[in-house]
Each structure stands twice: as structure tokens, then as C-alpha cells.
Amino acid sequence: METMQSTLSFNSFNYARVASSTHCTQHIIKLHKREVQLKPAKSTPRKGPVNPARKTQNLNVEISPHRAVSAVRLMRIEFGGAFADLLNEQGKGSGENEMGYVERTLGFRTRDLDERDLRLVTDIVGGTIRWRKYLDYLILSLCHDEKNFGSMEPLLLQILRMGLYEILKLDMPPYAVLNENVRLAKVALRPGAGNMVNGILRKFVMLNDRDSLPSPKVEGDDRQQARALATIYSHPVWMVRRWTKSFGSQEAIKLMNWNNSVPCFSLRANTARGYTKVELISTLKLLEVPHEPSPHLEDFVRMKTGMQAVIQAGLLKQGLCSVQDESAGLVVSVVDPQPGESIIDCCAAPGGKTLFMASRLNGHGMVSAIDINEGRLRILKETAKSHGIDNVITTVHSDLREVSTTKLGKSDKVLLDAPCSGLGVLSKRADLRWNRRVEDMEQLKHLQDELFDSAARLVKPCGVLIYSTCSIDSEENEERVAAFLQRHPEFSIDPVNKYVPPSFVTEQGFFSSNPVKHSLDGAFAARLVLSGE
């Protein structure tokens, strides 16, 4: 687990993941060369000019492209060089980049990824990451030797995890999964690795067909029960214990089931470009993408599948819409941006809320986007231009704790979308659950308090400070607000019931979305008003 570095982006506590993916690939290659000599597929070297997109001399069309890409991406995620989806911040597919990683890591390429392959990679990678703990439990049970499991090559382990997941959760034909994973292990590693995959997967298929797979028993004291539930529902033990204590066992299980489900996505029509929800829905119908309008937000549309079709149609690249969860949109509703206002977004990048707030200004006013990550601010500026709202967004590359009021001036509204554990977005961020420790929570609370105090200095008299997270943990939410109000009695709570539907309003007047209750990402927001004295 990477440790927190305050000199990196505030938008995620998983800061070390901005490290270069090239470094990650080199690390994987070194690891593999140390444990096993890579054996690229046999092919005839090419002569003469080579297409830049096809520089490799090792082309193997017998290996399924989605399977090779999935295996390498799973390794990159585990070593901290990638996320679990195939979309970057601009919504572009990255199939060619992924095949480049395959070539540099495994020593060969396969045929290019098509649209179906991209969907399979997304399904396999996301699902395998979600179910990693349970899959490892099964693999260890099938190995009958903890030492062999612990010393298994990273690529071999990913191939086994994929195989079990495809059969168990995707209902793929066992014979096809077995044959293709064995072939990948033999080509990318060695014949003996293929034999091991063959033996373990065959044993798994036999037990699965007999409905006799091993399963932990939920019994004993609280700690033992938590360990069993953590394995069955594939979550870290500390999360299970925390949620069981906070919400009760049944609600904790519902939450884990939500986190393990295939996530829904929402699109926000960019009205700043004159593109309405009606037009977005009409386009989705033409693309044959299943969808439904959001019951909570005017400009949002929900969709379960079809993201590749949206990307290929150019809707994201042209700035006609954005991928944004409704929970994030409801936080902007709590901010309630109005034309003519000055707004500061304290930890802005990658900028989803910044863009939405700016679109609500109708060309009048300004959103100042502060972030410590200069590269992500650059992307935000480019996206703002494509969305037609760059005239009301200014970017500030700085640590919020070092920004003075003389540099920015005080604003009507200040949004602190604080770095947090991300415990409300584990459905979409499948990899996030394995990159959090219980020790992180204390460090995060200290950082949140520091940023809260810094953001308060940027608020005008009678202005509004909005504190938000994408967490469902009270220590990061209600407790941080209570601690802040003790330090700053000049602020008071402004109930959010005027800005969001009643089902999202807590007894204290805060906004809270709950994955189980609302079928949305978990999020929190408190609206605080500074006295005019």
C-alpha cells in the first residue's frame, strides 16, 4: 500500500498511482525475468518499413486479445500503474495503448482489440479485481499448499484468477476458458505454467459442476465472522468489521453486494453547449444504448451498458456530455451555483464538479479551480474548452494550504471536495478496496481538517462553504463537520433540504447518498454559512 504524500493530488488518497505507468511496466518485466525467462511466440521477423502502430516482430493471433490485455492490466493494477477501467479522463478508449503494454510486458502482440474485446476486458478486469479475495481463497484451496500459492508468479496468478472468474461469474464455457488460459500461460510463461493452469482449472470445473466448491463458515466471535464474510464477499476484513459495527451485519452484506455488482453510469448533457437531455436521449436511442432519465437531476441520464458506443460516437470528445454520477451532480445542487457568482473549487481535478458548476453560470461569473496536480489541471482546461465554458474557469496550480486570500480573493461560494477513503464509490472503483488500510483513516482525517480550515479562509462574509466527500464513513463526514464547527463558531449549518430531494437529507440537514438506499455512489455534503459580522 502506498503511503500518503501531501505533495500529490488532493482528489484521491491513492496519490502514488500517478506514478509513471512505464516504470510499472519495467517493474513487472524485471519481476518476470527474475522468476522465469519470457518466451515470446514464434514468428518470422519482418523486413522493410513497419507501420508505427505495428512495430512488433512477435505477433500471435492464437492468443485472445482481451485475455492477454486483461492479464497484463490486472498486473499493472496490482503494482499501482493502472485503474480498473479502459476509459481515460477524456473518455477515449485505450485499446492500442493496452496492446502496447502487452507487447512490452509479454514480448508479443495479438490481433487488435475490437469493441467486443474492449467490453470483455472491462468486465473481466473489473470483476476479477472485485472478487480477488474470494478467487484467491479458491485457488489456495485447489493448490492445497499455501507455500506454492505464495510463490506463484504474478502473471500465472492473474491467469488463474481470470479463469475462475470467467467460469464462475460470467458463465463462459469452461472448455473455452480452460483452453485459452492454458495457451496464454504456455506462450507468455512456459509449458509447465500451462500445465498448472490446466490442472487447477479442471479441478475447479469438476467441483463447480458438483456444486461442492469450498466456502468459509460464518461462525465464531465477531472477528472470525468478519474474516469469513470478508472472504465470501471479497472485501478487506477491516472494512467488514467497520461496516458491521456502523450499519449492522445485514446492511454490511447489502453494501458489499452492491460493491460487487456491475456499476451503472450516468451521463450529464452539457447544456452550456446548448445540448439538452432530450437531444442526448434521442442520440442514445439512435445508438441503441439502453438508458433511462435520472429521477433526481434534470440533465442526467442513466445507462448500464453502451459506453463504448457513446465514446465512438464522439459525444464525450465533442463536449456534448460528461460521464458523471448523480451523487456528484447532487453535490453541485447543494452548491447551487448562480450566474454572476465567484466560486472556488478547492481540490478540483479531474474537474467533473468544476465543469458542472461552470455550466450553471450561463457565462456570467467565475469558477477558480485549485489543484496541486498540474497535469490534471491541464486536462481540465482542455475539457473546459471542448465544453464551451473555458471563459468562466480559471485554474490555479497550488497546494490549497498555501493559497492566500490575497492571491485569490474571497469568494461567494467555496467547494471543498475533500480527499477521502472513497468508501462510497467501491462499485465503480473496483481496485480501490485493496488500496485502503484502516490506518489511512487517521491520516485522512488530519488532512481533511487542514484543508477544511484552509478553505474557510477563502469564504466571503455571508458566503457559503460546502464540504463534500465520496465516502459513507461518519468519521470523514459528520464528525469532520462537527470538529470544524467547534474550531469555527462563525460558521453555521445551512440545511440542504432546499437543494436536494428529501430522501437525501439527514436529520442534521446534510446531504447523504447511500449506495444501498439510493442505488447511487455514496457521497456526503454539508453546506455552511459564514456570518456577516
CB 493 within 8 A of CB 509: yes
Q: Among the options 24, 143, 346, 470, which is catalytic?
A: 470
Distance CA 208, CA 168 (A): 8
Q: Confirm whether 470 is a catalytic residue.
A: yes
Q: Is 348 annotated as a binding residue?
A: yes
Nearest of 353, 411, 349 to residue 375 by alpha carbon = 349
Alpha-helical (H) ranges within 264-351 are 277-286, 307-312, 326-335
Q: Find the largest Cα–Cα distance for the chain.
A: 80
269 is in an annotated binding site: no
Q: Is 473 annotated as a binding residue?
A: no
Strands 265-269 and 366-371: unpaired
- Any known ligand binding at 352? yes
Residue (of 252, 236, 232) closest to 244 by Cα position:
252
Q: Is 521 annotated as a binding residue?
A: no
Residues listed for the chain: 533
String of DSSP letters for 406-461 = HHH--EEEEEEE-----TT-TTT-TTGGGG--HHHHHHHHHHHHHHHHHHHTTEEE
Give CA–CA dist 284/266, Å, rounded: 12
The helix, strand and coil proportions of the chain, stated in percent and rounded to the nearest 5, come to 50, 10, 40
Asked if 208 and 168 touch (Cβ cutoff 8 Å), the reply is yes
Q: Which amino acid is at 290?
A: P
501 is annotated as contributing to ligand binding: no
Q: Which residues of 128-138 are buried (b: 16+ CB within 10 A; e: fewer)?
A: bbbbbbbbbbb
Check: CB of residue 346 under 8 Å from CB of residue 400: yes
Q: Is 30 assigned to a binding site?
A: no
The grid cell for 433 is: 478496496
Is 350 marked as binding a ligand?
yes
Q: Are 121 and 93 in contact (CB under 8 A)?
A: no
Helix 132-143 to helix 115-130 angle, to the nearest 10 degrees?
80
User: Residues annotated in the binding site for S-adenosyl-L-methionine, as ranges?
Assistant: 347-353, 371, 399, 417
> Which parts are annotated binding residues?
347-353, 371, 399, 417
Active site residues: 470
